[in-house]
Amino acid sequence: MLRIIIRFITIVFLTVLTQVGGLIYLISILSFRRKTRKTRLVYFTLIYILTTYFIIPFIAPVFGREKIKNTDYLQPRSFFYTLTNRNYVTPELHKILTSVSERFEKKHNGIQVVYLDANFPFFNKFPLLPHLSHNDGKKIDLTLIYKDEKGKLTNRKQSISGYGVYEKPTRKEYNQIDVCKRKGNWQYDFPKYLTFGRINRDIKFSNQANKELINLFLQYNQMGKIFIEPHLKSRLRLNHSKIRFHGCQAVRHDDHIHLQLR
């Protein structure tokens, strides 16, 4: 009974994390049940990697999504986002991402647009936790842009995951974070536990580069909403109606930029 419970929990965990991992794990158990535990683990790993990198990219377009093509100007924060199948978007969003990142890199030689969670490859409304809305191929999170101690833009980030290190409001700026937490929205600050380690403490948020990046996306009529914290919207003097507050039921957005199509 304990073995069954552990396997069930593993299937649920892998499904939540990767969408397809739970199914592949179940198949490996049923197909290689006479093998040792270590052998089954090896088979699962091989089948999962093969499926993720060589099979799913060819099936996803049937569901209206495609794998983000990594280039010299568009990259994931880490292999985690590709290994867990969180790097799928609609062709329309993919085209915009590619165009904006190429334009941004050409202006700022060598500076990449770096993405975090996008969407799973299959099925609308399948949740990509811990996000509330990344379930239709039309959403993606991007890291913030930073500058080094010399004031030059850098590809370095402040956390290993890309999430959880905040560009906090100053004393003179509106503090939406405190407002949401006072209302009882405990989860609003939760991504601070998802950094997987804080690094590069010497780099600083670039007002100019982040404003420029957001404005590039706003040039496309297909863009529906862009979420950042209200204090950053004010600081960057971004008055466009598509730049919205995401609501206290979500999590704070001063560690990343959320984009979504109409």
The CATH number that applies at residue 184 is 3.30.1380.10
Do 123 and 7 belong together in one domain? no
Q: How many domains does the chain have?
A: 2
Do 210 and 229 belong together in one domain? yes
- Cβ-based neighbours of 213, under 8 Å, separated by 6 or more: 100, 104, 113, 142, 145, 257
Please state, in angstroms and rounded to a whole number, the distance separating the CA atoms of residues 232 and 224: 19
| Predicted local confidence at residue 33, as pLDDT | 84
Do 105 and 221 belong together in one domain? yes
- Mean pLDDT, consecutive 10-residue segments, the chain of 262 residues? 92 98 95 87 96 98 98 97 98 98 97 98 96 95 98 98 97 97 95 96 98 98 98 97 96 97 96
Do 55 and 162 belong together in one domain? no
| Predicted local confidence at residue 135, as pLDDT | 96
| Predicted local confidence at residue 234, as pLDDT | 97
Do 197 and 126 belong together in one domain? yes
| Predicted local confidence at residue 155, as pLDDT | 98
| Predicted local confidence at residue 113, as pLDDT | 98
Q: Which position has the token pair 């965990």?
A: 13
| Predicted local confidence at residue 111, as pLDDT | 98
Chosen domain end from 61, 85, 109: 61
| Predicted local confidence at residue 242, as pLDDT | 97
* Residues β-bridged to residue 143: 256
Please state, in angstroms and rounded to a whole number, the distance separating the CA atoms of residues 236 and 219: 17
| Predicted local confidence at residue 260, as pLDDT | 98
Do 89 and 9 belong together in one domain? no
Tell me the H-state helices in the chain: 2-18, 21-31, 37-50, 56-59, 80-83, 91-107, 176-182, 207-218, 230-235
Q: Which domain holds residue 127?
A: 70-261
| Predicted local confidence at residue 252, as pLDDT | 96
| Predicted local confidence at residue 34, as pLDDT | 81
* Residues β-bridged to residue 76: 115
